[in-house]
Structure 1
Amino acid sequence: MVRPAPPLLLREPSRFAMLPRDRARWALALLIALIVATLTALAVPDPAGPADAMPPPAAQTDLYLYGAIVDGVRAGGDYYSIAANALRAGDFPLRPFFTFRLPTLAMVQSHLPPGVVLGMLWALGLAVALVWYIRLKPAFARPLPRACAMVLLAGGIVACVQPGLVLFHEAWAAMLIALSLGLWRPGRWLEAAAIGLCAMLIRETAVLYVLVMLAFALRSGDRREAGGWGATLAVFAVVMTIHAIAVARVVGPLDPTSPGWAGLNGLGFFIRALSLSTALHALPLTLAAILAGLAIYGWAGWNSPHAMRLLAVLLAYALLVAVFARVDTFYWALMAAPLSLIGLAFAPDAIRDTVRGALDRRRVRVHRVTR
């Protein structure tokens, strides 16, 4: 058995502290492979486009589209008719039906003053910070690393709380996912499931988070929790069916179809998109990519049920973006952004314990003495 070294930042040893040498070597190889894979971000297309490229016309930007829809609904129009006309005006595809966002966010924003909506977004950000401060407090032995973790949290949610993105569905859904996971505890899942449903009703891709939580509930054998997450998926399925029927009524046979979502841009594209969605955007891409990889590995090192669920959510959205996202839909990575950088606070212990276990050369020798 490996005797764990005293933790560096954490209150308890990391998940890798007790690994036998062979497993620690596999973990070290995985860490190296992860860092190498993140550096493929240097070879993928830049989602932001070339520095000297002309910006797209205002009528062709997603934010302008969402703003036009909110203004139309505020003026008394029908959501689906307004959305269809706005999509046509911006040369956006209207088929399949999920090219239309669910009306939840637009309906809320159309009935509230813009200042109130922005205040709600900032309040949501503060709620995420408070919940995760409580959740992270027992993990760290001293106030300084705990403060560093909160700074990293701020670096993850900075894009979501920008006033310019108040109309962006991913910003709201990502924050709700972060809040939901922070509120979840073993045996207490009702609030988390309800907020997860809210996230799905704002942005459909939040269903990945709910599927991850359902899978963990089934794996742990908690039938009540699994039933709760399953119920949210059932409600979501009903809503999406109604949404599809409403979209079919306003879409004509000549309306354009989406070119598809088989981007196949790889893990490097997710890493690059994640850096654009967090404070890593301020760093050189090489350093940002490495830090993103270390953050993922850090989450694997925290010995907590929250860490495993968050890691699974990160990997699920990494797979979604790597396989399906096109260059112009890089903002899907925003769904995984709010909590991603906190993993850097767990990385020092995780890396130290992995390397220590992999390099362990101690042997147990048994001497038989015959008298």
Structure 2
Amino acid sequence: MARSPSLWLSAPSRFAGIGKTRGRVVLAGLALLLLACLTVLAVPDPAAVATGPATSQSDQTDLMVYEKIVAGVKGGGDYYTVATDALRAGGYPLRPFLTVRMPSLAVVQAALPPWGPAALLYLLAAYVGMVWGLRLGDVLPRALPRLAALLLLIGSMLAFLQAELVAFHEIWAGLLIALSLGLRRPGRWMESVAFGLVAMLIRETAALYVLVMLAMAWREGARREALGWLTALVLFAAALAAHAHAVSGMTGPLDAASPGWSGLLGFGFFVKALSLATALQLLPVAAAAMIVGLALFGWAAWDDPLGLRMVALLAAYAALIGIFARSDTFYWALMVAPVFLAGLVFVPDGLRDLLRPNLDRRRITVTRVAR
């Protein structure tokens, strides 16, 4: 079946030209995805956003600790001394070493003037928006889809435009991941690798993004790019080992240990976390869950290597959050939130291309020929 003209996109969606049988299989998969998103209704609200009294380990408390650490470093204190003292005073665990953030973000923010971190955050967010606006503009030739993409990008980045969150590591790492992904093009990957490395040095869970990019580059036969991502992982591993050594010198067996990361809260918690990380938090839970499912479908419908990477990235973090996140670590979803809702611009073409084979009714015209 020949590919048909697109609705919003400059090129057909991944499902254009799909056969009737395969189209029905994909539609069934979409229905199952939307049903899976509705499991969010069985997930309790994260502690930091519950309607009851806030817990001492809420993300707001985390933020206050990070701000205290930055202030201590700005005042001339050694990062590891300041950080371990602040965590210990707040009743936070200090074992294993991953409970203590790497020093990159705090040291940089401490070196800036008071207005510097917020200004840098806005500049980074604007750059991410520009990069993704250009990437999406390449495939959205008309004004209405481009306006929709712009609004969806803004809705995805609401949390990343709040100056009071500048000390929060996931805010910066999420933007850097989005920037790295948006800059990557076939044959042009060095800037992408560099920003991926910076994201890992700010938040260790960004290593999952780099692993996804390494796997995709290897799968496509881009060996030099794969080597670049592998080099970034090696450099990060060296920095992480140095961090572990420094933390071990400041902690002892009497320090509290983490309860672990085996929440097993499932896919529904990933959906809720992603909703809370974007403007979807303003909608009823069920409606937000449906939009999350459609955005996931939209990214899968984009017939482009960037779309495929986004799908792989979202799947990887869905597994990470669904298996390992606790209810008070829902903010891990910030790592993939900055451009997530933009996947909705691919939904009209993707759905049309899936439904067309099943709605097509071939007409047979009988013509009587007079002899």
With structure 1 as the length reference, what TM-score do the two structures score?
0.94
> What is the distance in 1 between the residues matched to 2:196 and 2:360?
43
Amino acid at match of 1:248: S
Structure 1 window deviating more from structure 2 (270-279 vs 56-65): it is: 56-65
Aligned residue for 1:369? Answer: none
Task: Map 1:301-316 to 2 at 5 A.
Answer: 301-316=301-316
Structure 1: stretches of 5+ with no match in the other structure: 365-371
Structure 1 window deviating more from structure 2 (6-15 vs 265-274): it is: 6-15
Does the Cα contact within 8 Å between 1:60 and 1:90 map onto a contact in 2?
Answer: no
Structure 1 residues 358 and 114 mapped into 2: Cα distance closer, same or farther (>3 Å)?
farther
Aligned residue for 1:18? Answer: 17
> What is the distance in 2 between the residues matched to 1:301 and 1:27?
11
Cα displacement string for residues 294-350 of structure 1 (whole angstroms, at most 9, x for unaligned residues): 000000011111100011111111111111000000000110101110011111111
> What is the distance in 1 between the residues matched to 2:195 and 2:108?
16
Amino acid at match of 1:137: G
Task: Map 1:96-245 to 2 at 5 A.
Answer: 96-245=96-245
Amino acid at match of 2:212: V
> What is the distance in 1 between the residues matched to 2:280 and 2:218?
35
Task: Map 1:320-359 to 2 at 5 A.
Answer: 320-359=320-359
Does the Cα contact within 8 Å between 1:263 and 1:324 map onto a contact in 2?
Answer: yes
The CA RMSD over aligned residues, in Å, is: 1.7
> What is the distance in 1 between the residues matched to 2:323 and 2:50?
23
SS at match of 2:161: coil
Structure 1 residues 200 and 54 mapped into 2: Cα distance closer, same or farther (>3 Å)?
closer
1:360 to partner: Cα distance: 4.9
Does the Cα contact within 8 Å between 1:21 and 1:360 map onto a contact in 2?
Answer: no
Does the Cα contact within 8 Å between 2:57 and 2:328 map onto a contact in 1?
Answer: no
Amino acid at match of 2:226: A
Cα displacement string for residues 124-168 of structure 1 (whole angstroms, at most 9, x for unaligned residues): 011001111111112113011011111101111110121121110
Aligned residue for 1:317? Answer: 317
Structure 1 residues 256 and 54 mapped into 2: Cα distance closer, same or farther (>3 Å)?
closer
Aligned residue for 1:276? Answer: 276
Amino acid at match of 1:30: G
Does the Cα contact within 8 Å between 1:17 and 1:357 map onto a contact in 2?
Answer: no
Amino acid at match of 1:87: L
Aligned residue for 2:368? Answer: none
Does the Cα contact within 8 Å between 1:156 and 1:278 map onto a contact in 2?
Answer: yes
Cα displacement string for residues 235-262 of structure 1 (whole angstroms, at most 9, x for unaligned residues): 0000000000000000011001100100
Aligned residue for 1:252? Answer: 252
1:78 to partner: Cα distance: 0.9
Does 2:39 align with 1:40? yes
1:363 to partner: Cα distance: 11
> What is the distance in 1 between the residues matched to 2:237 and 2:362?
56
> What is the distance in 2 between the residues matched to 1:59 and 1:267?
21
SS at match of 2:160: coil
> What is the distance in 1 between the residues matched to 2:163 and 2:265?
30
Aligned residue for 2:369? Answer: none
Does the Cα contact within 8 Å between 2:93 and 2:258 map onto a contact in 1?
Answer: yes
Does 2:265 align with 1:265? yes
Structure 1 residues 219 and 363 mapped into 2: Cα distance closer, same or farther (>3 Å)?
farther
Does the Cα contact within 8 Å between 2:58 and 2:328 map onto a contact in 1?
Answer: no
> What is the distance in 2 between the residues matched to 1:318 and 1:131?
25
Does 2:4 align with 1:5? yes
Does 2:67 align with 1:61? no
Structure 1 residues 30 and 361 mapped into 2: Cα distance closer, same or farther (>3 Å)?
farther
With structure 2 as the length reference, what TM-score do the two structures score?
0.94
Amino acid at match of 1:102: M
> What is the distance in 1 between the residues matched to 2:110 and 2:296?
38
SS at match of 1:8: coil
Q: How many residues align?
A: 363
